Amino acid sequence: MSIKIEHVSHLYGEGEAFEKKALNDVTMEIPDGQFLGVIGHTGSGKSTLIQHLNGLLKATSGTIYYNNEDIYQENYDMKKLRSKVGLVFQYPEHQLFEIDVFSDVCFGPKNLGLPQEEIEARAKEALEHVGLGPDFYKKSPFELSGGQKRRVAIAGILAMEPEVIVLDEPTAGLDPKGRDEILDLVAELHQVRKITVVLVSHSMEDVAKYVDRLIVMDDGKVRFDGTPREVFSHYKELEKLGLAAPQVTYVTHALKEKGWDIDTDATTVEEAKNAILKALKRPLKKTVSEKTDPGKGAAL
Amino acid sequence: MNIIKAVKLAYEYKRYGEDGQVEETLRAVDGVDLDVKKGDFVAILGHNGSGKSTLAKQINALLVPTEGTLYVDGMDTKDPEKVWDIRQSAGMVFQNPDNQIIGSVVDEDVGFGPENMGIPTKEIWERVEESLRSVGMWEYRHSSPNKLSGGQKQRVAIAGVVAMHPKCIVLDEPTAMLDPVGRKDVIRTVRALNMVEDVTVVLITHYMEEVIYADKVIVMDDGKVVMQGTPGEIFSQVDTLKKYRLDVPQVTLLAYELKKAGLDLPAGILSIEELVDNLCQLKSNM
């Protein structure tokens, strides 16, 4: 079970003067149960890519397999695909429209044509999963805080019982605590419900903290693909792509330049703390004559 | 002289029922006293719903205080005759660049503000050039705004405000929708305006790293100012900030954790260089 993207290209305005290749021959696989992070500057193709995952956009060329089935084949059940791959857009609260929280979460399963009992059971479960109890059921979505509205939007997707959930910058505009709460919630859904998660983010610190695998989009192509540690070790190239590494990665690299014998792969506060504490005890490397005596210098 | 002065400032949102009776009131800003000196860079932090944006909209006279008084450049924002002068003194930049740009070409968009002020055409174009240069977007003057990146659009929006020659710019989460480089460019632009052109800056943000250059940081909670000080003073109080649903820059958190682990580091380290220098000093003393 997986999503396989094979040689997918997407042209906006094909054949027009403004033709733009938003995706350029992308091939990748998202295995079941992965927590995948997607980063890239604005206009790099991230959002175009994720809108292919549930068939909202159709590839100009190439194809996508969901659980080994070609989603572009004739008679493929797109509606079912959309219930299996849930997409949470940026500012999802703009898509809340029902009279109260409970009806809003029911909207998705209702459209799946499920019996009323099942719809309500699913909505209750989904709301419980995002930490909104019965007190919230009858509230208008507009009375809620920014973080709570996002929870409702995520519950609306969860009620469809998706196997994959794709989130496009779910924390934009939230305060730091709200940011942590939403991402902790996503991480918990990933662990408890074994949902595959695709997280698009502009926060390097957030992706470093949560994801198993990170891809970097640029100019419609996947430029880097690996663990956050692997990807962020290319921080100088990332900067040229309009990105950055987490702040702590810069600290360990700066210390290395000052001659410290330190592991520079740290991407979280915890990792950096341990690397620094370890390196403090080690002697400095000779920085000036590194070529003649690599790594063996005495403390300065 | 203080460019912004608030005395016991309050703002209440009222919700009216179908019969026209007030059903609910929400005191979004509650007794704020505030002094911003001309040329200062002030940052306002606070969780969603803490009253930051309501305060910002009052500085621009988009909202008028329900209690207390707010003076902008000596003018009382409650005086309806002064609304246009106040908006010219205190320009505002919002979160979403797409909602703020109206021209179909960059330079026309920037000229819109001064044109509305009745500035002679020749001077409008001088102002457009000067402000586009100050945000580093002059070479894009003939571009269509929808071909620009988010960070570039936000810099055009800032230029549009700068062209009105305001004494003060209020930015309400200008980087929330931008990628890291766009974020950096916008903050660099704002700092340059503050340092070179001496424009007073009020920056509202959820990104703690953007605040470290401010002269003064104000923390709001429940409509009140609960903390005030230099970035170093504010960010040395990690636990208090967390209580207000805020955070510190990642490098400050790392320094705080290292200090907890027994390293002799000063409180409130704000930048990567500062931490690296302090660590190197520690090491050479070992």
Instruction: Tell me the average confidence (pLDDT) per consecutive run of 10 residues in chain A, 300 residues long.
Output: 93 82 95 95 89 93 95 92 90 82 93 92 93 91 83 92 93 88 92 94 91 95 95 92 91 94 92 94 68 39
Which pTM value belongs to this model?
0.85
Query: A-chain residues within 8 Å CB-CB of B263?
Result: 277, 280
Per the prediction, chain A carries an average pLDDT of: 89
pLDDT at position A282: 87
pLDDT given for residue A146 in this prediction: 78
Q: Is A91 left (phi over 0), alpha (psi -120 to 50) or beta?
A: left
Tell me what pLDDT residue A291 has.
Answer: 44
DSSP strand pairing (A85-88 vs A164-168): parallel
Chain A residues lying within 8 Å of B24, measured CB to CB = none
* B209, B279, B281, best to mutate vs chain A, most A CBs in 10 Å: B279
- Mean pLDDT for chain B overall: 92
Q: Which secondary-structure segment (H or E) carries A9?
A: strand A2-12
Structure confidence at residue A300 (pLDDT): 36
State whether residue A300 sits within 8 Å of chain B by CB.
Answer: yes
How far is the alpha carbon of A171 from chain B, nearest alpha carbon, in Å?
A: 9
Q: What is the pLDDT of residues B251-268, one digit of tens each?
A: 999 999 999 999 999 988
d(CA A215, CA A241): 13
Could B283 and A248 be called an inter-chain contact, meaning their C-beta atoms sit closer than 8 Å? Answer: no
Q: Which residues pair with B7 in a beta bridge?
A: B69
| Dihedral of alpha carbons B255, B256, B257, B263, sign | positive
- pLDDT for the residue numbered A166: 96
Contact flag B263-A280 (C-beta cutoff 8 Å): yes
The string of pLDDT tens digits covering residues B229-249 is 999 999 999 999 999 999 999
Q: Which residues of A touch B249 (CB under 8 A)?
A: 247
Give CA separation, B40 vs B4, B69, B187, B198, B199, in Å.
Answer: 10, 21, 15, 8, 8
What region, left, alpha or beta, does residue B61 occupy, with left being phi > 0 and alpha being psi -120 to 50 degrees?
left
Name the B residues in 231-270 with CB < 8 Å from any A CB. 242, 245-247, 249-251, 253-254, 257-258, 261, 263
> Closest chain A residue to B246 measured between Cα atoms?
A176
| Contact (CB<8Å) A244/B180 | yes
Nearest residue to B276 (alpha-carbon basis) of B124, B50, A241, B284: B284
Residues B109, B106: Cα–Cα separation, whole Å = 5
For residue B181, give both structure tokens: 């480089």
Instruction: Determine the longest span between alpha carbons in chain A, in angstroms.
Output: 76
Output the six-digit token pair for B219: 């923390």
| A177 close to B (CB below 8 A) | yes
CB atoms within 10 A of CB B94: 18
**pLDDT greater than 70 at residue B206:** yes
Do A5 and A29 touch, CB atoms closer than 8 A? yes
Q: Is B206 on the interface with A (CB under 8 A)?
A: yes
Find, in chain B, the residue whose alpha carbon is nearest to that of A90: B177
Which residues make beta-bridge pairs with A215?
A38, A225
Question: Are the beta carbons of B158 and B191 closer than 8 angstroms?
Answer: no
Which tens digit of pLDDT belongs to each residue from B30-76?
999 999 999 999 999 999 889 999 999 999 999 999 999 999 999 99
Report which of residues B151 and A53 the model is more confident about: A53
Residue A240 makes CB contacts below 8 A (sequence gap 6+) with none
More confident: A19 or B184:
B184
State the pLDDT at residue B23: 81
Dist. CA B181–CA A20, nearest whole Å: 23
B47 shares contact with chain A (CB less than 8 Å): yes
Dist. CA B129–CA B28, nearest whole Å: 39
Closest CA to A210 of A194, A239, A188, A231: A188
Which residues in chain B have Cβ-Cβ distances shorter than 8 Å to A280?
263, 279, 282-283, 286
Tokens of A58: 């159709």
Q: Which residues of A214-223 are buried (b: 16+ CB within 10 A; e: fewer)?
A: bbbbbebebb
Total beta-carbon pairs less than 8 A apart between chain A and chain B: 117
User: Residue A300: closest CA among chain B residues belongs to which residue?
Assistant: B284
